[in-house]
């Protein structure tokens, strides 16, 4: 058993600093896995935008363009899963999920401010996420909410020092639709999934290997927990 290098407990949240591939198998079952893992895509190009913003270079420096091991998603341990991904990952990721879960759906959120990286590809003005579930763990929510196509600007990397932070409105909708009570994000980043889980009254476990991002997540989740306590 691999021991995480650091653990923080905040209300109903437990945050682990360490390697998700080593830690996650030791944690048992969760109702839902909601994650924004490493994408796999060509992150070259960008010209003046790349030089001015710096987020694209940070993605490469942190290895966030190298993809992830699909086997971290275990349908025996997670009754439903939401996975953000690049559209280049769909051809391999969808068959894996379809072979392990009862139903699989591809949804999208729209970005009015996408980075201008095309690289002989489509502009990334929409970003997919996959929701897969076993029988009895179907999506929940009002009809109009379930089918709502979210438009939300990408978060600037300087906000939390991370190049791929998901907007709160996107995570709040997903957290409502996945149902369940316990949520795990093995690639926690700066804690957007955890903040949404706390706002939704769920139990959360997050894992992050980058120490800087981990401490940002701790601060954000502490703040979210404090707001929930004040509202109670």
- Alpha helix ranges (H) inside 15-125: 20-23, 47-53, 55-61, 90-98
Residue 132 located in a structural domain: yes
Classify burial at 172, counting beta carbons within 10 Å of its beta carbon; exposed 0-12, middle 13-18, buried 19 or more: middle
Percentage, residues of the chain above pLDDT 70: 91
Return the higher-pLDDT residue of 40 and 7: 7
Q: What is the pLDDT of residue 189?
A: 95
Question: Can you tell me the distance from the alpha carbon of 220 to that of 191, in angstroms, rounded to the nearest whole number?
Answer: 7
Nearest to 162 by CA among 64, 27, 18: 64
Chain segment 66-99, per-residue pLDDT in tens: 999 999 999 999 999 999 999 999 999 999 999 9
Return the higher-pLDDT residue of 71 and 121: 71
Question: Can you tell me the distance from the alpha carbon of 68 to that of 35, in angstroms, rounded to the nearest whole number?
Answer: 11
Residue 5 located in a structural domain: no
Residue 118 located in a structural domain: yes
What average pLDDT does this structure show over 114-138? 88
Give me the domain span that covers residue 221. Answer: 11-231
Enter the pTM of the model: 0.90
For residue 186, which phi and psi values (nearest 5 degrees)? -80, -10
Query: Hunting for tokens 């795990």 — which residue is that?
Result: 184
pLDDT-based confidence at residue 157 (cuts at 50, 70, 90): low
Q: What is the CATH number of the domain that holds 29?
A: 3.40.50.150
In contact, 35 and 11? CB cutoff 8 Å: no
pLDDT-based confidence at residue 154 (cuts at 50, 70, 90): low
Q: What is the pLDDT of residue 115?
A: 74
Residue 92 located in a structural domain: yes
Q: What is the pLDDT of residue 155?
A: 65
Q: What is the pLDDT of residue 139?
A: 94
pLDDT at 4 over 60: no
Nearest to 64 by CA among 189, 183, 153, 169: 189
Residue 1 located in a structural domain: no
pLDDT at 2 over 60: no
Residue 42 located in a structural domain: yes
pLDDT at 198 over 60: yes
pLDDT at 34 over 60: yes
Q: What is the pLDDT of residue 151?
A: 79
What average pLDDT does this structure show over 125-141? 94
> Number of folded domains in the chain?
1
Chain segment 5-21, per-residue pLDDT in tens: 789 999 999 999 999 99
Residues in the chain: 232
Structure tokens at 53: 């913003």
What average pLDDT does this structure show over 148-160? 71
Residue 2 located in a structural domain: no
In contact, 191 and 166? CB cutoff 8 Å: no
Q: What is the pLDDT of residue 49?
A: 67
Residue 53 located in a structural domain: yes
């Amino acid at each position: 058993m691999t021991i995480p290098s650091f653990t923080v407990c905040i209300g109903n949240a437990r945050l682990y600093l360490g390697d998700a591939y080593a830690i996650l198998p030791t944690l048992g079952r969760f109702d839902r896995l909601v994650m924004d893992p490493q994408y796999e895509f060509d992150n070259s190009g960008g010209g003046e935008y790349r030089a001015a913003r710096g987020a694209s270079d940070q993605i490469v420096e942190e290895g966030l363009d190298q993809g992830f091991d699909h086997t971290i998603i275990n349908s025996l341990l997670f009754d439903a899963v939401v996975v953000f991904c690049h559209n280049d990952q769909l051809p391999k990721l969808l068959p894996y999920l379809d072979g392990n879960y009862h139903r699989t759906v591809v949804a999208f959120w729209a970005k009015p401010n996408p980075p201008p990286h095309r690289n002989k590809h489509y502009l990334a003005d929409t970003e997919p996420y996959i929701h897969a579930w076993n029988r009895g763990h179907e999506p929940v929510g009002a009809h109009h909410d379930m089918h709502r196509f979210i438009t939300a600007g990408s978060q600037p990397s300087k906000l939390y020092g991370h190049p791929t932070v998901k907007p709160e409105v996107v995570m709040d909708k997903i957290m409502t639709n996945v149902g369940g009570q316990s949520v795990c994000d093995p690639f926690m980043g700066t804690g957007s999934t955890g903040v949404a889980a706390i706002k939704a009254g769920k139990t959360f476990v997050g894992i992050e290997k980058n120490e800087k991002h981990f401490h940002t997540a701790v601060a954000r989740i502490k703040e979210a927990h404090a707001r929930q306590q004040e509202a109670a």
